Structure 1
């Protein structure tokens, strides 16, 4: 092997190890980047600065090895005399390969998305089926882009359902399953640009914050605009409609897909906030609202279609139909106050059913994170078992139906009767089991307490 080849091998081998400061003996990982001077000597920036400082004051102790010991100039520096076993090897930097966003092969099929939703959302079978297919098609479109010059349109959705039917919860669960950023906003806070309130770009600001200011991640997220029925056109008004039709007009460019300048780290534009550009082409927009009195508009339309004869539908037959919203048509929404251009950008329209007493009982029992299961886990930390008999479930559901606010009423009822239990139970370490009864919910009795010796008695 020639001398030149040996030198090349030695240099390549030495590159695998950290440089060590000739003066303070610290490695490169501790002292920082080294300064190389003649004769293969490495000095860290700190020692070099100290050398310059002492030279300026007339003392040169660090230069003895060069000036006052000339014989050392021909020797191999000390850094190369250290055995390799004592040298610190450089850590190889791992090259992080950028993950492909939403690999279509890893995207769960619609039936798997619905199965995951079933674990958290009770009922609403049709709505879960529609949203699973729409989301699957949307993210397949995002992953594949244009196929054979055929551009697939966006699958923006409009969900209609009474309050407490699970609209927001459905979208939250969906975003958690797909692991994509989600922004939830309220349409009531949006106004036409230039007026008091948030402009429509604030919707994207929230999405950017949810994506940790990662534009690429935000551009494949989900935006849920709740209370969309509140921006319907105002009827019989002479004042400017700055929070109704004008907001629908402003939202058109977002729903269709356009490049929008969005403030980073703020919800409003000003001179002190940097701006970034977000393309909404691949952002999935889901709008939801209760649409009060929409059922009256639907009934009026259907009643006009009633005929005369033995097979004709009676007008009062629709008055007590709990699924009347499922008959909604685009003309009903236009009559409600939504402009045609806005509805045209929400091609998928579906409804959620109001919760019945039986569905409310299932909401208490079946979901993975049901509120009663949360209380059971809390008391289990105190080694107390919390049970509910069937009469308790029915009593809670009946009480919730009276409030007419859907599943939202359950939390208020449960918080009320669990207050005394959560306050009293930790006082006594002998309590091993608490059973909630229907009488206790209705205020006619007390929960059944069992001490650890299995002797039962009632709380006084």
Structure 2
């Protein structure tokens, strides 16, 4: 009887003897239940290793457990034989207190468990914008480059139809038609809108976008970023959601900087070797990348990302490519009535539109790399008229940004047409495309943005060409002036 009373008295007490409520006695649902277990040694998730063994607060996969037992049975216990074993130089007695340590892996480095209910198609055929819809949205942000926008719209539309077909039918039936990947190569002078086009495209389609610089990439094992780092950036942009990342867009800028180096005796680890390493990504392969980090190490969990459905867009300015194109065109016939004049193509604004793979190979791109970029898009240099339109027409035009800034001070900003032409003329001299516009406007708007807030009676400011030529000042009107 006394034993029964003792059990009734102690059933609501914890191991330390403290009284706990009935609700507190229930096993709480941990927030970590939605995340996979990560092996303490090899850092692989449970989906890769299978069920794990938990000991002393550590999760260990069966492979690492077997290696540990082998090291014990073969010549004593030697942790150095266990690959990637962290903390191997610490006192082993410290591991007995792991349960009492408040140590957590950051959530951004954890991998969410995949449940059948969570697997939903990212795209439905009816949700894919038609090419003319994509181009209309691009027109709102990008001025000019009509042919380039049309080519990109069709290429992206066909690519995501291919993604939809792969998701809807994964069987290899004889009647199925396998659609190949259509990666894009963009060629255009600096400031012509290559990066801006891709950013607008990703925003329109609501897909993750990763922008990488080819100049930082080197062959694996050398100083610099590995090729897999571009996939790591895409995974981070997708909030570590592997399924969403596998339908994203990767834009590799400055692709012309990895052309083969001419007349070099050293190993070309940042040129031709990078092109060779990129082949597997462009074609489609499974890549092991770290989660929540750009560096592979023993403490970072790894996951596998397939690049089969990732759209790769490579862009570059390709300086001096025009000279290679002109040389090929003028060498077709150098004598007789059919001979081409040497200066016939010197002033051709559409000279880049005549590019062929032969020109790119002569520039330094290897044939295998070009073969995996079947769609070539060329962007033209911006003319004075296009620069004026870029200043005022896009949805987030530079002038609209300054008008909004002064509007917050209840001041109206107006630019005369002659002033816009002056800005475009100065930008043409800099030869950096649309990038030159902001630097020019920032220069002459500095004094205005500094002086206007001083006088609350100012109602509007008109920028004139005389002010830009330093032959006068802006036209200022006070409030109540009609």
Give TM class, smaller chain. Answer: 0.7 to 0.9
The CA distance in 2 between the partners of 1:428 and 1:392, in whole Å, is 24
Instruction: State which of 186, 190, 194 in structure 1 corresponds to 2:217.
Output: 190
Does 2:79 align with 1:52?
Answer: no
Q: Which residue of 1 aligns with 2:163?
A: 142
Q: Look up the SS of the partner of 1:349 in the other structure.
A: strand
Where does residue 152 of structure 1 map in the other structure? 179
After the TM superposition, which segments of 4 or more aligned residues of structure 1 sit over 4 Å from their partners? 48-51, 95-99, 307-312
Distance, in Å, in 2 between the alignment partners of 1:419 and 1:396 is 15
The corresponding residue for 1:314 is 341
Q: TM-score, normalised by structure 2?
A: 0.74
CA distance in 2, matches of 1:246, 1:49: 70
TM-score, length of structure 1 as denominator length: 0.78
Matched residue SS, 1:134? helix
Task: Encode CA deviations 1:235-279: one digit per residue, 9 max, x unaligned.
Answer: 000111000000000000000000000111111211121111000
State the match for 1:32 in structure 2. none
CA distance in 2, matches of 1:376, 1:346: 42
Task: Give yes or no for contact 1:431–1:451 (8 Å, CA) kept in 2.
Answer: yes
1:75-86 correspondence to structure 2 within 5 Å: none
> What is the correspondence of 1:348-387 to structure 2 with a 5 Å cutoff?
348-387=375-414
What RMSD over aligned residues (CA atoms) do the two structures have, in Å?
2.2
Aligned to 1:420: 447
Structure 1 residues 389 and 344: alpha-carbon distance in aligned structure 2, compared to 1, 3 A threshold: same
Match of 2:127 in 1: 106
Aligned to 1:17: none
| Alignment size in residue pairs | 373
Task: Verify the 8 A CA contact 1:306 1:315 in the aligned structure 2.
Answer: no
Unaligned runs of 5+ in 1: 1-47, 63-94, 456-460
Q: What is the CA–CA distance in structure 1 between the aligned matches of 2:227 and 2:325, rounded to whole Å?
A: 30
- Counterparts of residues 415-454 of structure 1 (less than 5 Å): 415-454=442-481
Aligned to 2:205: 178
Q: Is the 1:389–1:435 contact (alpha carbons within 8 Å) kept by the matching residues of 2?
A: yes
- 272, 275, 283: which one pairs with 2:302? 275
Q: Which residue of 1 aligns with 2:291?
A: 264
Deviations along 1:359-405, one digit per CA (max 9) or x if unpaired, are: 10000011000011011011111111111010110010011011000
Secondary structure of the corresponding residue to residue 348 of structure 2? coil
CA pair 454-96 structure 1, distance change in 2 beyond 3 A: farther
**Deviation for aligned residue 1:194:** 0.6
Q: Aligned to 2:424, which of 389, 397, 412?
A: 397
For residues 11-160 of structure 1, what are the structure 2 equivalents within 5 Å?
Answer: 51-52=12-13, 99-145=120-166, 148-160=175-187
**In structure 1, how many angstroms separate the alpha carbons of the residues matched to 2:359 and 2:287?**
32
- The aligned runs of 1:322-361 (5 Å cut-off) are 322-361=349-388
Say which one has the larger Rg.
1
